[in-house]
Structure 1
Amino acid sequence: MSRPRLPQTPAWWFDGSTPPLWARAIAPLYAGAVALRRLAYRRGLLRPRQAGVPVVVVGNLIAGGSGKTPLVLAVVERLRAAGWTPGVASRGYGREDAATPRWVEAGMDAALCGDEPLLISHASGAKVRVDRDRAAAAIALAAAGCDIVVCDDGLQHYRLARDIEIEVQDARRRYGNGLLLPAGPLREPLERAADCALRVLNLGVAADDAAAACAGEWPMRLGIGELRPLVGGRGLPLAAFAGQRVHAVAGIGEPERFFSMLRDAGIGVVPHAFPDHHVYTPADFEFGSQLPVLMTEKDAVKCMAFVQPGWHAVPVAAQLPEAFWQALLGRLPQPLP
């Protein structure tokens, strides 16, 4: 089911202001469509497709970013360490010719597969399949030799049968005003979260401890890795840029989180925020001053055709308690030898 699309995150979703009348008028219609679709699957009028292998869905209830991609990468890594051969299914949001399923390959243009699938493929080395029908993507991955599928996003894609659902929530934004699209950021009602086996709270980089996590939530911190120069050379710690001014580029769900991370490291940030899934061109980097450029890995994979010296990707890795991984693995069968 398609959902209303807005060009950027509306301010009223998260700032406490009253949504406009048109958004409040449409929200009940959207809520009715969501409820009818969910009821159709519960009553058996629509049936999910089985992939033939276990399926782990990583998703969120709100529109926009919440930290799914770092968690997907961490899940793939931990499953591989436990003896599984994971593959990743994704819609490939924002890609050209979205009706065409594709295998994500090294060096592929992000316009063909989507920025997040390209990053996941590059960072994990796992097989990644993009298809707007995630069930078909999961079946293709199983046929290609993957014995477990991690679905990047897809809590609302009921066509794909799943064994485990993991909800990811941003600690700062939570559920916003708690209203359904387009009056608020919710794709489904809040009670949908109770259906998820595991609920992860993304505390970001600056989190001191797990105090922000409530009962039933697993805290996730983001650790910063070595900065990767996009035109060769050795990696650098983020501290190497402390005391310097840099152009900071972020086309993600919440760019301010990236900028704050750099400021907390003592870096002078000249911020350049772009819409999530933005398609970059060289003109976007005509900043008028020759400063180092720091960007997220998700942005970097879309700029490789025109990168310049002094541009760096800032990698982050999800860090969760060991008990979370035991809880995840404990819900899965043992991988076949």
Structure 2
Amino acid sequence: MALAQKLEQAWYGDGRTPGWTYPLSWLYAGVTGLRRTLYRRGWRRSVRLPVPVIVIGNITAGGTGKTPLAIAVAQGLRERGFNPGVVSRGYGGRQREPLLLDDKPSPQQVGDEPSLIRSQGIPVAVGRDRPAAARLLIAAGCDVVIADDGLQHYRLARDVEVCVIDAVRGFGNGRLLPAGPLREPLMRLATADIRVCNGGERMGAYPMKLTGGEACSLTDDTCQPLTAFTGQRVHAVAAIGHPARFFDSLRAYGILPVEHAFPDHHAFVPADFNLGDDLPVLMTDKDAIKCRRFAQPGWWRVPVRAELPAELFDALASRIRYSASPAG
């Protein structure tokens, strides 16, 4: 069994936590704690931008639905009169210098998640220097910056913190990396301004549900209901933080997935799809955006959108209006 699988079983299941992870977890706790203290006491300075900043992130490793939430927040704020843009580190891409994405970005260059967000018509900038990348959005006319996966990036000052919680996996064994899945201690959750629970309900958190129901061809963008695959075996491909969520969503439609889980942000090549038969291939939107250039007939993406209560977007709009006012 691969190391990543062993650790995940220890984090979220009944697997045994390897002894060597404990000292590394203590070291991780010391380093991250020191870093937080340096910023909190002003010994390291955060960069304050001239527009409100919303950071969206989590305190656990792996996928919790941050990117669908970032898209939904951008769309919700746009409906309320704002012109938001998203800043990202561009994980998985080659781009290092700040870059404002055009209409057809290369996922290999800028990363899969920024490319997916840009495909929704949302302005996106990437770069290792996130404050510099965010300034490109401001120069392009954005009046709100949304930082995708920015909760632990303290160099960028924020006006609102949104923390996403996975309702199914929760916080696992409650330990810090690598002995557990936590990026920060559980107490960090209490300091976030807004909490969102993906896939269920939690006291003090807004509920979020990922919905879809369609499959769209990678070769010609025709779409059909997912129920068209009910009762069929398909190859299910996922290179996301929590592939099981995608596989389970297909089973909910009566589809029989042959599971192909890859590491998060995997750079797909045609050889990855030498699957030995002609069964349909279904994949997430995040993965499809990396496979379009060599897609074949019978390959389908399964888009999802985040459904959230309007009260969440109203609360965000109220907070950023206050932070943008002279009194704020």
Structure 2 length normalisation: TM-score? 0.93
Q: Are residue 105 (structure 1) and residue 102 (structure 2) matched?
A: yes
Partner SS for 1:247: strand
Map 1:1-337; keep pairs closer than 5 Å.
10-11=7-8, 12-96=10-94, 98-123=95-120, 125-203=121-199, 212-333=200-321
Question: How much does 1:232 deviate?
Answer: 0.8
Deviations 1:139-171 (A, max 9, x none): 221122111111101101110011111001111
Question: How much does 1:9 deviate?
Answer: 7.7
Partner SS for 1:168: strand
* 135-144 vs 298-307, greater mean Cα deviation: 135-144
Are the aligned partners of 2:100 and 2:133 in contact in 1 as well (CA < 8 Å)? no
Question: How much does 1:200 deviate?
Answer: 0.6
Distance (whole Å) between structure 2 residues aligned to residue 7 and residue 193 of structure 1: 25
Question: How much does 1:132 deviate?
Answer: 1.7
Distance (whole Å) between structure 2 residues aligned to residue 19 and residue 110 of structure 1: 35
Distance (whole Å) between structure 2 residues aligned to residue 92 and residue 99 of structure 1: 8
Are the aligned partners of 1:213 and 1:219 in contact in 2 as well (CA < 8 Å)? yes
Q: Structure 2 stretches of 5 or more lacking a match?
A: none
Distance 1:108 1:326, change over 3 A: closer
Question: How much does 1:100 deviate?
Answer: 2.5
Are the aligned partners of 2:98 and 2:130 in contact in 1 as well (CA < 8 Å)? no
Are the aligned partners of 1:57 and 1:154 in contact in 2 as well (CA < 8 Å)? yes
Q: Structure 1 stretches of 5 or more lacking a match?
A: 1-5, 204-211
Deviations 1:261-298 (A, max 9, x none): 11110112111111110010111111111011110000
Question: How much does 1:223 deviate?
Answer: 1.1
Distance (whole Å) between structure 2 residues aligned to residue 225 and residue 146 of structure 1: 32
The one-letter code matched in structure 1 to 2:109 is: L
Are the aligned partners of 2:100 and 2:137 in contact in 1 as well (CA < 8 Å)? no
Question: How much does 1:258 deviate?
Answer: 0.6
Distance 1:9 1:258, change over 3 A: farther
Deviations 1:210-229 (A, max 9, x none): xx422101110111053221
Are the aligned partners of 2:47 and 2:157 in contact in 1 as well (CA < 8 Å)? yes
Distance 1:145 1:7, change over 3 A: farther
Are the aligned partners of 2:219 and 2:295 in contact in 1 as well (CA < 8 Å)? yes
* 138-147 vs 276-285, greater mean Cα deviation: 138-147
Partner SS for 1:236: strand
Question: How much does 1:249 deviate?
Answer: 0.7
Structure 1 length normalisation: TM-score? 0.91
Distance 1:83 1:175, change over 3 A: same
Distance (whole Å) between structure 2 residues aligned to residue 14 and residue 176 of structure 1: 5
Partner SS for 2:70: helix
Question: How much does 1:7 deviate?
Answer: 6.0
Are the aligned partners of 1:104 and 1:130 in contact in 2 as well (CA < 8 Å)? yes
Partner SS for 1:49: coil
% identical aligned pairs: 53
Partner SS for 1:21: coil
